[in-house]
Chains A and B, each alone.
Chain A
Amino acid sequence: MVKTFLAAAAALAVAWSGAAGAEQITGAGSTFVYPVLSKWSADYGVKFGDKVNYQSIGSGGGISQIKAGTVDFGATDKPLSPAELAASGLAQFPVVIGAISPVVNIVGVRPGQLKFSGPLLADIYLGKVKNWNDPAIRALNPGMPLPNAAITVIHRSDGSGTTYNWAYYLGQVSPVWKARVGAGTSVQWPVGVGGKGNEGVAAFVGQIPNSIGYLEYAYVIQNHMKYGLVRNSAGRFIGPTVAGFQAAAATADWAHAKDFFLVMTNAPSAAAYPITATTFVLMYKQPRNAARSAAALKFFKWSFEHGQADAAALNYVSLPPVLVKQIARYWATQIK
């Protein structure tokens, strides 16, 4: 009896240590990247043996964990300023691109039909435009069956990088929004109802008629939401398409962004989708555990070069090659 127990314990120990020599990389942070990071880490682990353990506790949690040194990398949707990075000895680089879409629940409107401009979205979220048949909305959408109904605004109840990018974009296109509300992972919404997570917003928009919300692109596709087109800085109405996101990523001014400190919204290209955003990874420039840090960089390099199919399958957008090259140069100079 005792012998069987000891044999079983020994077998377990051997099985657990079977991956000895493989690194266990830990990361924490943004919930937005969790699906694609876990797919990448699964594929990477099968190929190379290194395991990536990622906890999606939110961007704020990711920042505080990397600053506390308990993880090898943190992931945040809201970039840290170069001053803050220098103070903590951190390096920062983007890993994947997402986009945020306005979604509506109006009878008779199909996905990709309704047109919005940035200032109009800001006015809706400020509570200035209260009804769907307001002249401002009708001007952009002649001939659409807009009902005479009050707009129910849906926002996020939890702090989120999605909110940060949305609020930042609204601040860029509306001085009133910038002065009154500002940008943050959690803002003081003038009007509206809060849903928890992208799932909560999707559920609310689905349940409440004549509502408008904002969602990550992946959730729009997976829940078949009625998304709207947004007018970009060149004046064209662009829908949430991969081409639009990559155009935004390519033309956003990365070259002059120290430590990639750039919020990509309202990118200048004519084909760019205006509310595009990226998630950033934070790592120490002089890491405590150099082996694990190097393994993490190898993982990200592999994801940039070979992870496009996985990302596309999950409705994410990979970084354009010019940006990947810039990141590689940044690693060479910044991270030991």
Chain B
Amino acid sequence: MSIASDEFGGFPPPERSRKTAASEKSYGVGDRIFKGLTGAMAALVLIVLGGAAVAMLWGGLLAFKTFGFRFLWSSRWDAVGHQFGAFVPIYGTLVTSAIAIVMAVPVSFGIAIFLTELAPKWLRGPVGTAIELLAAVPSIIYGMWGLFVFVPFVATYLEPWMNDHVGTLPIIGPLFSGPPIGIGMLTAGTILAIMILPFITAVMRDVFGAVPAELKESAVALGSTTWEVISHVSLPYTRSAVVGAIFLGLGRALGETMAVTFVLGNAHDFSMSLFMPGNSIAAAIANEFTEADSPLYVSSLIALGFLLFVVTFIVLALAKLMLLSLGRMEGAKA
């Protein structure tokens, strides 16, 4: 079939498929297989995540049906009387993670700033490596160090001091007063802070280092101090990565089991004071799962696991929302 030329002597362009999006150029078989394979791997992650959530929900169904919403705010955990309530583990998980974040984020921030802006070049390598080594320490070592070294220190010096000086302050006083046994939510939160420090620091250090030099140099040329460069140039530029780093650390703190079970006290009692022992979801499951001798007990523990899933999901959703609103604020300013 011959193609006629038009009045100018040119030929019409060759027939192309109607779908001209970049992803739909002509694919060979190998490309299609590769695309399918990688898509399958991505789908596998989603399927595993969804499957785990559904499995935990299924296992916890008996507990949810027996107790209903009361499961979420009952603090009674009685294996003999078959009454279970998740309030104390949920509270312990959230409080210890909150303490960890409050302690770790400023320190990580300081370390990252020091390593990228302030430290002499010969110091950056060793300190950075030391921080990364902290991440390689197994969590049970943190637990043992916490129990044998940190707890006596807290019980002998820190908690009595806080009892006298912070426990008497008006609003936050009750949080920081109590019997100085050393084992409790404050100690657990501190150990968690040390554990999540390297993760947050590593990400912050990488992104602060990736801020383009031109941006920082322009700010300095306009007369900014080092702190103003950091707060007005580096931080806004790396905002989403910094928030991501914080939530990475928070995720680790929420799920940490062994270090927490050594120093948290594993007591199913609710108390306002941070000096008192509490319980966390991961520690409760790790401690009690093997000996859970009734179906309701097992179901309650699996339901606790599902609730941890939910808590992590909510935290992640909050992170995304915060990033979105910050991004929108940026958009409005620009």
Chain A contact residues, majority secondary structure = loop
Binds B, one of A88-96, A181-189, A273-281, A326-334: A181-189
State which residues 58-81 of B face A: CB under 8 Å: 76-81
Contact B265 A194 (CB under 8 A): yes
Contact A192 B267 (CB under 8 A): yes
Q: How far apart are the CA atoms of A150 and B183 in the complex, in Å? A: 15
Q: Given known contacts A185-B79, A204-B183, is B267 in contact with A158 (CB within 8 Å)?
A: no
Contact A63 B293 (CB under 8 A): yes
Q: Does B182 contact A (CB under 8 A)?
A: yes
Residues of chain B at the chain A interface (Cβ within 8 Å): 76-81, 147-148, 151-152, 155, 179, 181-183, 261-262, 265-269, 277, 279, 283, 286-288, 290-293, 297
Contact B81 A188 (CB under 8 A): yes
Please give me the 4 A-B residue pairs with the lowest Cβ-Cβ distance, nearest first: A159-B291, A194-B266, A157-B266, A58-B290
Q: How far apart are the CA atoms of A182 and B266 in the complex, in Å? A: 19
Contact B287 A196 (CB under 8 A): yes
Q: How far apart are the CA atoms of A188 and B268 in the complex, in Å? A: 8
Across the interface, name the chain B residue whose C-beta is closest to A63: B293
Residues of chain A at the chain B interface (Cβ within 8 Å): 57-61, 63, 150, 152, 157-160, 181-189, 191-196, 200, 203-204, 207-209, 211
Q: Name 15 interchain pairs, CB-CB below 8 A, sorted by A.
A: A57-B290, A59-B291, A61-B290, A157-B266, A157-B267, A157-B288, A159-B293, A160-B291, A183-B80, A185-B293, A186-B288, A194-B287, A196-B287, A200-B262, A208-B155
Contact B78 A188 (CB under 8 A): yes
What's the count of A-B pairs with C-beta under 8 Å? 98
Contact B292 A60 (CB under 8 A): yes
Q: Given known contacts A181-B80, A207-B152, is B287 in contact with A189 (CB within 8 Å)?
A: no
B residues near A208, Cβ cutoff 8 Å? 151, 155, 181-183
Query: Taking the nearest CB of chain A, how far is it from the CB of B312, in angstroms?
Result: 23
Contact B76 A188 (CB under 8 A): yes
Q: Given known contacts A185-B293, A193-B265, is B80 in contact with A158 (CB within 8 Å)?
A: no
Query: Taking the nearest CB of chain B, how far is it from the CB of A139, in angstroms?
Result: 25
Contact A187 B79 (CB under 8 A): yes
Contact A188 B290 (CB under 8 A): no
A residues near B268, Cβ cutoff 8 Å? 188-189
Query: Taking the nearest CB of chain A, how far is it from the CB of B305, in angstroms?
Result: 16
A residues near B78, Cβ cutoff 8 Å? 187-188
Query: Taking the nearest CB of chain B, how far is it from the CB of A67, in angstroms?
Result: 11
Across the interface, name the chain B residue whose C-beta is closest to A187: B80
Q: How far apart are the CA atoms of A58 and B289 in the complex, in Å? A: 10
A residues near B77, Cβ cutoff 8 Å? 188
A residues near B261, Cβ cutoff 8 Å? 157, 196
Contact A193 B290 (CB under 8 A): no
- Of B76, B152, B183, B291, the residue contacting A158 (CB under 8 A) is B291
* Interface-centre pick from B81, B182, B269, B288 (highest chain A CB count, 10 A): B288
Contact A157 B287 (CB under 8 A): yes
Contact A184 B287 (CB under 8 A): no
